[in-house]
Amino acid sequence: DSGVTQTPKHLITATGQRVTLRCSPRSGDLSVYWYQQSLDQGLQFLIQYYNGEERAKGNILERFSAQQFPDLHSELNLSSLELGDSALYFCASSRRDGGAVGQFFGPGTRLTVL
């Protein structure tokens, strides 16, 4: 158990819908990262927040957005969902900004868009 929690574990929805994925980092970790894992693209970095502020952006679609709240939990919002958004979405956390000490991953949320 990494100490990072993600809810829900599974999510099944229809095209065009909007969903919210939730992540609680390990106690004391200020950085939260979101990654997408799909069969064709592999593991890709989406976005990072550090202590409530956006720090880095990767291959995140404009239909996706995220935020980190004062209690440090984070939410990833996916809207206008398409079939290709079906994937495993991971949240990771680290103590400091750079993540060089290692990022600890949650169990993931499996999103299926029908």
Among 26, 55, 73, 95, the residue binding another protein under the rule CB under 8 A is: 55
Angle at 53 between CA 95 and CA 68, to 5 degrees: 75
Tokens 């956390």: give the residue: 93
Smallest separation (angstroms) from another protein to the CB of 75 = 18
Q: Select from 19, 23, 31, 111 the one that contacts another protein (CB under 8 A).
A: 31
**Cβ 113 vs Cβ 82: under 8 Å:** yes
Cα–Cα nearest to 24, from 89, 91, 95, 73? 73
Q: How far is the CB of 51 from another protein (least distance, A)?
A: 13
* Positions in the binding site for another protein (CB under 8 A): 2, 4, 31, 33, 35, 42-45, 48, 55-56, 58, 90, 92, 97-108
